[in-house]
């Protein structure tokens, strides 16, 4: 939360997201990257590191309390899809208008739906999902005393001015005063309305700053060094994805699990959910499946939720003789709830006898089904201890597991808060 200094005036802002664009260049650039059936989808619904582009765009604004309402300018038919991908809770603040042919037309339709009690209108492209909460805050801070402020980046490449006819270079442009205009653009609502009224070419304007400039209003750039691209082509989408993956090491995590059970006569030997014919079985409150216990513990490690001893205490009669598959399923459900999915499992079974060769495939298949993974992503290795130690003497079985997991979109489309 912003500190409320004495005398600090908290601005009221309506956020407008023009999202009605056809994405023609995006689909032209897609080649074989996506199936034909997706060609008609808006690029805003494409997956970007586990979340739809539009959900990521909106996430940066969720933590800005000055933003009172969100008006989305969309094409007919997008509305129900937006509700589906964002979830009901996230959509409560959102109002919809039908977009127009041009961006400025869409913004005008949305502007008419904004509350007159908002002093400011902030416009942000639906296809700029990498904007950060910090940059938005910077913009709001910079608005004091101005009619408008826009996020912009200093032009770095060398720019040539050429003759239209044959491309001959006329001059090298002094780039020290050149900026590339981005969004968000934050403008006084009354001034923007006036600009639409006064400028006869308003509907052709490519940004809000341009409209304000045309009536002589005072607009300034807020320079930033981040990367806030507009997703125009499929290459942009892939670049943005790798940027997110690289800048967010918590997108994947690895958990480690370990379990030992005593081997005693008169018990079944369960391993990976398969009953292995054996004169001895593992002693335990549950079915004693050390492999599934190690896997479940590794997953709890990833999500930081303790260990299975805490989740399934052996004092609790509910878990007496419980099939360990149930334990894995419960842990998987909890993982999904916290936004994590396994994508690879490696494991060791340390056991002297019986030899597990004939059962390994069955065990892998069973674990793959429990974790909803392809069988290639589940590895089960079996070792003996050459007669040494408790396992070697046939007194115990030990299992180890390493489970790799990736972050997924939070259930029910809840917009995940972006870490800024
Ligand atoms: Mg155990």
Going from the Cα of 284 to the center of ligand 1, the distance in angstroms, rounded, reads: 7
Q: 234 alpha carbon to ligand 1 midpoint, in Å?
A: 47
Ligand 1 centroid, distance to 318 Cα (angstroms): 16
Residues 191 and 139 in one domain: yes
Read off the pLDDT band of 318 (50, 70, 90).
confident
- Give, in degrees to the nearest 5, the angle at Cα 268 between 262 and 273: 100
Please tell me the distance between residue 272's alpha carbon and the centre of ligand 1 in angstroms.
12
Judge whether residue 199 has pLDDT over 50: yes
Q: Say whether both 240 and 263 belong to one domain.
A: no
Q: Are residues 266 and 140 in the same domain?
A: no
State the pLDDT at residue 2. 47
Is 349 domain-assigned? yes
Would 420 be classed as within a structural domain? no
Least confidently predicted of 29-38, 123-132, 406-415: 406-415
Measured in angstroms, how far is the CA atom of residue 338 from the centroid of ligand 1? 24
The helix (run of H) or strand (run of E) holding residue 110 is: helix 103-113
| Strand 280-282 to 274-276 pairing | unpaired
Whether residues 322 and 199 share a domain: the answer is: no
Measure 373 CA to ligand 1 centroid, in angstroms.
23
pLDDT at 25: 77
Q: Which residue has the higher pLDDT, 120 or 48?
A: 120
End-to-end Cα separation, the chain, in angstroms:
13
Q: Is the same domain home to 280 and 188?
A: no
Per the structure, the count of domains in the chain is 2
Residue 54 to residue 137: CA distance in whole angstroms = 20
286 CA from centroid of ligand 1 (Å): 8
Residues 55 and 15 placed together within one structural domain of the fold: yes
From the CA of 258, how far away is ligand 1's center (Å)?
Answer: 9
- CA torsion sign for 191, 197, 199, 205 is positive
**CB atoms < 10 A from the CB of 31, how many?**
8
Mean per-residue pLDDT for 378-398?
Answer: 96
Strands 47-48 and 51-52: antiparallel
CA of 262 to the centre of ligand 1 (A): 10
* pLDDT > 90? residue 177: yes
277 CA to middle of ligand 1, Å?
19
Is residue 419, in this structure, part of any structural domain at all?
Answer: no
**Same domain as 227, residue 256:** no
Same domain, 316 and 217: no
Output the pLDDT for position 246.
Answer: 72
Looking at residue 89, its pLDDT comes to: 65
Q: Which of 215, 247, 279 is a domain's end point?
A: 247
- Taking the centre of ligand 1 as the mean of its atom positions, its distance from the CA of residue 290, in whole angstroms, is 5
Give residue 275 CA to ligand 1 midpoint distance, Å: 15
Let me know whether 276 and 190 are in one domain.
Answer: no
Q: How far is ligand 1, taken at its centre, from the CA of residue 40, in Å? A: 51
pLDDT per position as a tens digit, 84-111: 877 766 677 899 999 999 999 999 999 9
Partnered with residue 220 across adjacent β-strands are 149
pLDDT of residue 46: 85
The predicted structure's pLDDT at residue 248: 62
What is the CA(191)–ligand 1 centre distance, in A?
68
The label of the residue with tokens 């046939």 reads: 394
Burial of 63 (0-12, 13-18, 19+ CB in 10 A): middle
Q: How far is the CA of 254 from the centre of ligand 1 (A)?
A: 20
- Expressed in angstroms and rounded, the spacing between residue 292 Cα and the centre of ligand 1 is 8
- 67 CA distance to ligand 1 centroid (A)? 51
Helix (H, G, I), strand (E, B) or coil at 78: helix
Domain stops at, among 196, 221, 247: 247
In the reported structure, the alpha carbon of residue 386 is separated from the centroid of ligand 1 by a whole-number distance in angstroms of 23
Please determine, for residue 179, whether its predicted confidence score (pLDDT) is greater than 60.
yes
Taking residues 241-270, report their average pLDDT: 87
CA 398–ligand 1 middle distance (angstroms) = 9
Instruction: Give 153 Cα–ligand 1 centroid separation in angstroms.
Output: 56
- What three-state secondary structure class fits 67? strand
Evaluate if residue 410 carries a pLDDT over 60.
no
CATH of the domain at 195: 3.90.550.10
Q: What is the mean pLDDT of residues 281-301?
A: 95
Does residue 413 or residue 224 have the better pLDDT?
224
Query: What confidence score (pLDDT) does residue 1 get?
Result: 43
Q: Which of 53-62, 102-111, 358-367, 374-383 has the lowest mean pLDDT?
A: 53-62
Calculate mean pLDDT across residues 127-154.
95
Q: Is residue 194 part of a domain?
A: yes
Average pLDDT, the chain: 89
CA of 285 to the centre of ligand 1 (A): 8
Pairing of strands 252-265, 160-162: unpaired
User: Do 18 and 107 contact (CB within 8 A), yes or no?
Assistant: yes
Query: What confidence tier does 419 reach under pLDDT thresholds 50, 70, 90?
Result: very low
In angstroms, what is the span from residue 314 Cα to ligand 1's centroid? 10
Contact 267, 364 (CB under 8 A): no
Both 191 and 302 in one domain: the answer is no
Task: Say whether both 69 and 174 belong to one domain.
Answer: yes
Distance 259 CA to ligand 1 centre (A): 5
Domain with 273, as residue range(s), is 252-412
In a domain, 417, yes or no: no
Residue 23 — φ and ψ, nearest 5°? 65, 35
């Amino acid at each position: 939360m912003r500190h409320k200094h004495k005398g600090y005036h908290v601005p009221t802002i309506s956020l407008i997201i023009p999202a009605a664009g056809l994405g023609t260049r995006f689909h032209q650039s897609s080649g074989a990257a996506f199936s034909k059936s997706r060609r008609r989808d808006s690029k805003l619904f494409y997956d970007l590191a586990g979340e739809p582009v539009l959900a990521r765009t909106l996430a940066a604004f969720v933590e800005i309390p000055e933003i009172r309402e969100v008006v989305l300018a969309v094409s007919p038919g997008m509305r129900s899809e937006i509700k589906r991908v964002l979830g009901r809770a996230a959509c409560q603040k959102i109002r919809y208008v039908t977009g127009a042919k041009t961006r400025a037309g869409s913004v005008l339709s949305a502007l008419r739906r904004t509350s007159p009690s908002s002093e400011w209108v902030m416009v942000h492209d639906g296809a700029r999902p990498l904007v950060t909460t910090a940059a938005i805050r910077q913009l709001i801070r910079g608005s004091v005393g101005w009619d408008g402020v826009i996020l912009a980046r200093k032009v770095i490449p060398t720019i040539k001015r050429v003759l239209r006819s044959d491309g001959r270079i006329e001059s090298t442009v002094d780039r020290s005063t050149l900026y590339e205009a981005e969004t968000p653009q934050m403008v006084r609502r009354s001034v923007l309305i006036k600009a639409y009224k006064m400028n006869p070419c308003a509907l052709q304007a490519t940004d809000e700053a341009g409209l304000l400039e045309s009536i002589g209003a005072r607009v300034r750039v807020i320079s930033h060094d981040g990367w806030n691209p507009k997703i125009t082509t499929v290459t942009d989408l892939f670049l943005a994805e790798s940027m997110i993956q690289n800048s967010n090491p918590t997108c994947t995590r690895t958990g480690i699990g370990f379990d030992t059970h005593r081997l005693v006569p008169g018990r079944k030997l369960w391993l990976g959910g398969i009953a292995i014919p054996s004169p001895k079985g593992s002693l335990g409150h549950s079915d004693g499946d050390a492999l599934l216990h190690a896997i479940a513990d590794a997953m709890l490690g990833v999500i930081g939720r303790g260990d299975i001893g805490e989740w399934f205490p052996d004092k609790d009669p509910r878990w007496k003789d419980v099939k360990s598959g149930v334990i894995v399923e419960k842990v998987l459900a909890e993982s999904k709830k916290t936004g994590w999915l396994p994508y690879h499992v490696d494991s060791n079974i340390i056991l002297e006898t019986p030899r597990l060769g004939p059962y390994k495939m069955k065990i892998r298949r069973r674990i793959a089904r429990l974790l909803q993974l392809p069988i290639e992503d589940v590895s089960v290795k079996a070792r003996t201890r050459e007669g040494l130690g408790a396992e070697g003497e046939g007194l115990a079985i030990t299992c180890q597991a390493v489970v790799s997991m990736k972050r997924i979109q939070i259930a029910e489309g809840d917009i995940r808060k972006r870490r800024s």
